[in-house]
Each structure stands twice: as C-alpha cells, then as structure tokens.
Amino acid sequence: MNNDNDRSYPYSTSDLGCASALLAAGYAVKSIDKTNPKRAQFVFKPKTGIDKSANSYWENKLRIKAKAMFDSIKYLKSRIYNQCG
C-alpha cells in the first residue's frame, strides 16, 4: 500500500507563500528552477509529511512562527534574484 506521506521524489511548487511556509516548517529547498523567466519553481528535497504540510498551508491550518515565515520569504526572494542562487 502506498502511503501519501512517504515521498521518494521531490515536492515542487511555484507559489512563494507555500514555499516559504514549507521552508519555515523545516523542509529543505533542493533547488529553484528559473527556466521560465516569469515563474520560479521551488523544488524541495523528498521528506515524509511534506504533502500534508502543503495541504495544511492551503487549508489555512499550518502553524508556523511568523518570524520564520518572514525570514523564509526573504531567503527565497534572494535566491530567486541572485545570479548565484
């Protein structure tokens, strides 16, 4: 039986809010795909529970610290716009 929380492949989203929330919740960003110049794709390392956390974000039920969220937004924006990121 396949458990939806067992993720053996990366999770990705192009939503800055969701990506920031996942980062603030402790999930690690593997890479940021900037192939499309109009939209960055945030790719997270595979980790159990990330799907549930992402769904909780969209349902407005994910609980994270406000400062961690703000720091995550700043970090991801700097990665998007930094040529080295």
Q: Tens digit of pLDDT for each residue in 6-44?
A: 667 899 999 999 999 999 999 999 999 999 989 999 999
4 lies in some domain: no
Indicate whether 28 belongs to any domain. Answer: yes
pTM for the structure as a whole: 0.85
Look at the chain and report how many structural domains it folds into: 1
Examine residue 48 and state whether it is found in any structural domain, yes or no.
yes
At 36-76, the pLDDT tens digits run 989 999 999 999 999 999 999 999 999 999 999 999 999 99
* Residue 36 counted as domain residue: yes
**Contacts of range 38-44, beta carbons closer than 8 Å, 24 or more positions apart:** 39/14, 40/14, 40/16, 40/80, 41/12, 41/13, 41/14, 42/12, 42/13, 42/14, 42/16, 42/76, 43/10, 43/11, 43/12, 44/10, 44/11, 44/12, 44/19
Range of 32's domain?
11-81
